[in-house]
């Protein structure tokens, strides 16, 4: 069957932090909390993010994305050894600074292959879309990085109230297409085995798991001891193009 639609995850698939997230947090924390140990900060961010994602999926809660991220930032700082009172008193300065930083090219950059592959797929008359478990700031990031025109629709979990791996968020990518198509005529590309690969497969799409090689492989969402037997893996977005062509 011919592929007519390619949907992409955002973070660690099309875009990546300009510096590791824990480094950017450290830079923002330093004037208020002092310099926190990088290893502890990195681990603390991972734990805080996982906890808040579990407690409040799809950014649900009374305070929206800013309140959601405020909780991640607070837990990250305290978990890395910062003084809890100092964290509480400085959050009103730290949170807006980090929210703004990760709303543009200041916090993120494109992978080298993102724009060329999106352009190539368009020339092949293959539609491209975005499905991301992120908040609405991702729209301003994509606009600042100048790839919004290549992605239709852009589905963000905060806006639609659904997160991958829920099949419904994958189906939404089809409901907005002007040409009717089957789920088997689409492939989803992302770096998370559960949310991206398994979610898309369960929804009836093809799926490719992205595992970048070399220095670019650091940010991908990998679970300890994950079993990739039988999983279709690509090492970059050129691999996606090759798979689609075949």
Last residue of one domain, picked from the residues 101, 127, 142: 101
- Say yes or no: 180 and 82 in one domain: no
Pair 32, 90: CB distance under 8 Å:
yes
pLDDT at position 222: 66
Residue 120 and residue 72 share a domain: no
Indicate the DSSP class of residue 157: H
Could you tell me the pLDDT band of residue 57, with boundaries at 50, 70 and 90? confident
Same domain, 30 and 13: no
Tell me: do 73 and 128 sit in the same domain: no
In angstroms, the CA 196 to CA 181 distance is 20
The CATH code of the domain that includes 70 is 1.10.150.720
16: β partners: 109
Higher-pLDDT residue of 180 and 80 is 80
Number of domains composing the chain: 2
∠ CA 156-152-223, rounded to 5°: 45
Statement to judge: residues 43 and 56 lie in one domain:
yes
Q: What is the mean pLDDT of residues 220-241?
A: 86
Task: Verify that 34 and 77 share a domain, yes or no.
Answer: yes
Residues 58 and 142 in one domain: no
- 89 and 148 in one domain? no
| Closest alpha carbon to 23 in 45, 48, 7, 53 | 45
CATH number at residue 221: 3.40.50.1000
Q: What is the average per-residue pLDDT within 132-158?
A: 96
Same structural domain for residues 76 and 189?
no
* Prediction pTM value: 0.92
Boundary of a domain, candidates 101, 122, 149: 101
Identify whether residues 94 and 180 lie together within a single domain.
no
Domain containing 64 equals: 21-101
Burial of 20 (0-12, 13-18, 19+ CB in 10 A): middle
- The SS3 assignment for 197 reads helix
Q: Say which residue the tokens 């949907």 belong to.
A: 7
Average pLDDT, the chain: 93
61, 122: one domain: no
Query: Where among 67, 101, 135 does a domain terminate?
Result: 101
Q: How much is the average pLDDT of 192-205? A: 96
Mean pLDDT of 187-199: 96
Angle between helices 21-33 and 64-79 (to 10 degrees): 80
pLDDT number for residue 228: 86
* Residues contacting 5, CB < 8 A, separation 6+: 126, 127, 128, 129, 173, 174, 177, 181, 185, 186, 187
* Measured torsion, CA atoms of residues 150, 161, 10, 231, in degrees rounded to the nearest 10: -110
Q: Are residues 175 and 225 in the same domain?
A: yes
List pLDDT tens digits, range 17-55.
999 999 999 999 999 999 999 999 999 999 999 999 888
pLDDT single digits (tens) 78-116: 999 999 999 999 999 999 999 999 999 999 999 999 999
Q: What is the pLDDT at residue 215?
A: 63
């Amino acid at each position: 069957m011919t592929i007519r639609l390619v949907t992409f995850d955002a973070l660690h698939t099309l875009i990546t932090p300009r510096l590791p997230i824990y480094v950017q947090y450290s830079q923002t924390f330093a004037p208020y909390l002092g310099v926190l140990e990088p290893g502890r900060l990195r681990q603390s961010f991972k734990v805080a993010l996982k906890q808040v994602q579990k407690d409040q999926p799809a950014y649900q809660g009374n305070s929206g994305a800013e309140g959601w991220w405020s909780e991640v930032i607070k837990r990250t700082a305290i978990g890395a050894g910062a003084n809890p009172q100092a964290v509480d008193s400085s959050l009103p300065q730290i949170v807006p600074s980090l929210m703004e930083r990760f709303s543009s090219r200041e916090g993120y950059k494109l992978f080298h292959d993102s724009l060329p592959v999106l352009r190539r797929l368009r020339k092949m008359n293959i539609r491209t879309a975005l499905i991301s478990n992120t908040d609405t700031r991702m729209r301003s990031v994509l606009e600042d990085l100048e790839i919004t025109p290549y992605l239709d629709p852009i589905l963000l979990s905060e806006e639609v109230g659904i997160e991958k791996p829920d099949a419904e968020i994958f189906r939404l990518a089809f409901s907005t297409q002007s040409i009717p198509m089957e789920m088997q005529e689409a492939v989803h590309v992302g770096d998370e085995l559960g949310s991206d690969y398994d979610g898309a497969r369960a929804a009836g799409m093809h799926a490719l798991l992205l595992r970048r090689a070399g220095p670019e492989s650091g940010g991908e969402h990998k679970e300890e001891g994950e079993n990739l037997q039988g999983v279709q893996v690509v090492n970059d977005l050129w691999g996606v193009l090759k798979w689609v062509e075949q």
